[in-house]
Amino acid sequence: MIDYTTLKHSSNGMPTWDAYLGIVLNEASKKELFTAAELKQAAVNQINLPLSLKNLEYSSNSGEKNVAINRAGWALSDLKIAGLLHSSERNQYQITTLGKKILADYGLSLTRNTVHSLPEYKKHENSLKKKKNKTVNVAITKTDLTETQIQEWFDDKKDNIQDELLNCLINMNPYKFESLMVQLLAVMGYKGDEGQSLVTQKSNDGGIDGIINQDPLGLQKVYIQVKRYAPQNTVSRPEITSFSGAIKLRHADRGVFITTSSFTSGAEEAARALNITLVNGDMLTNLMLQYHVGVIVQQQYNTYKLDRDAFSD
């Protein structure tokens, strides 16, 4: 079972639709054919969602009402568009050769940036743009919005800023990137109340990019390695084992490996065995938004409901 809190998620904890991409593709690899309903349900079943999220429904009377199933459906749709899944005339889905390759490369860390960069998806996107350019004078009327629709609008805005943020991280100065990552972990509370955080020298760092002392005497340390990679350049097992070796030379047994891309399934297996915490591009930008590192809060909105206890006798 996958811990839902480790997935990219909305403010209420519900995994976003793109968090399901790797999960749906992985489930599709387990047998030859699935119906859409079977595949979506199988993906949702792989996540240890609390009942409040597993049973959450949209208020709309049309379409799929269950939020988790609906989001898995969006992931399934994008996987099909990108050529990673194929569907027959009988609505039977199967993983393609390309899908198997992408799954082997990215595993559950598959992101929408990777899926949307594939040739078939770009071809589909260009086709939609051409149709949109032909459509003129279309009036869009906004009527009453449900809280779910509002949340999805915010989620879309959040996705857009995460994409911009990731692009900035990939293109920034390497040393400043290391400093920003150490700052993020410090803001998250890793260094404690009286600890210290530092970035190692630009050369001869021995495979360690940053160190966080969790106490004033530096008895408890967290070692950090960062890789400023483009989305298609995944971190593989040898890089994790090399980092683990660098940590052990310092007589420590834990570290944090951060990348702007993602990790192969082999890297994830190695990290679990070697007590290395992995942070991929999606998780990284999500954490930066959550802890306001590299971003400024522009505006906040609140929704309200009556506190009926305040009016009762």
Assign a CATH topology to domain 170-290.
Answer: Trna Endonuclease; Chain: A, domain 1 (3.40.1350)
pLDDT of residue 134: 57
pLDDT of residue 254: 83
For the chain, which residues make up each domain, given as ranges? 4-135, 170-290
CB 20 within 8 A of CB 78: no
Alpha-carbon distance of 242 to 85, in angstroms, equals 35
pLDDT tens digits for the chain (313 residues)?
A: 888 888 888 767 889 899 999 999 999 999 888 888 899 999 999 999 999 899 988 765 455 678 899 899 889 989 999 999 998 766 789 999 999 999 999 998 899 889 999 999 988 888 777 766 555 444 444 556 666 777 777 777 777 788 888 888 988 888 899 999 999 998 888 877 677 777 886 655 678 998 988 777 767 888 999 999 987 788 999 999 999 999 999 888 789 999 999 899 899 999 999 999 999 988 999 899 989 999 888 877 777 778 788 887 6
Buried b (16+ CB within 10 A) or exposed e, 75-94: bbebbbbbbbbbbeeeeebb
**Length of the chain, please?**
313
- Closest by Cα among 122, 120, 117 to 230: 117
pLDDT of residue 306: 82
pLDDT of residue 297: 84
Please tell me whether residue 137 adopts helix, strand or coil conformation: coil
pLDDT of residue 137: 44
| Strand order from edge to edge, sheet including 255-259 | 196-199, 210-213, 221-227, 255-259, 276-279
pLDDT of residue 139: 43
125, burial (CB in 10 Å: exposed 0-12, middle 13-18, buried 19+): exposed
- Closest by Cα among 31, 26, 23 to 3: 23
